[in-house]
Amino acid sequence: MRAAPLVALACFAAVLAPAAAAGDVIDLNPSSFKNMLNDKDTVWIVEFFAPWCGHCKALAPEYAKAAKALKGVAKLGAVDMTVHQELGGPYNVQGFPTIKVFGADKKKPTDYNGARTAKGLADAALSAAKSMVNKRLGGGSSSGG
């Protein structure tokens, strides 16, 4: 009988955090966030959000659309800052949503200030991927994180 409250809580969280609950958006907690930082081969776009934030709710469908479109190319993650506040601190997260692009150098993500659309997010991910490839080829381009 103890499972019922957990199921109800999970359903409630899914309603409050649509971006994190979307199938292709990865919900990041301290453990999975650490794994993301160690994933040297993948570009990540990470949204730091609060479930009550109107702008975050408005972004959710576009964020999920971008995650689906970028599947196999880049990954999109979401951090619920009401639960995992400690994850945003090192990245100067002060407002919601804050979006960071974790490219070749996971220690120095770049701020995403582009359009809050699937296309804008996809363009940022592709730019970071191109930068990562150029860096590996010795091209020296390091923009995009």
From residue 110, give the alpha-carbon distance in Å to each of 44, 52, 68, 123, 144.
Answer: 11, 25, 22, 14, 6
Q: Which of 11, 23, 54, 139 is catalytic?
A: 54
C-alpha 141, offset from chain centre? 23
33 vs 89: CA distance, rounded Å? 13
Among candidate residues 56, 103, 144, 145, the one labeled active-site is 56
In the annotation, is 55 catalytic?
yes
84 is catalytic: no
Annotated catalytic, 11?
no
**Which of 11, 23, 53, 103 does the annotation list as catalytic?**
53
Cβ atoms < 10 Å from Cβ of 90: 9
Between CA 92 and CA 54 the distance in angstroms is 20
Instruction: Check: CB of residue 95 under 8 Å from CB of residue 59.
Output: no
HSE value, Cβ hemisphere, 13 Å, CA-based, for 13:
15
Catalytically annotated residues: 53-56
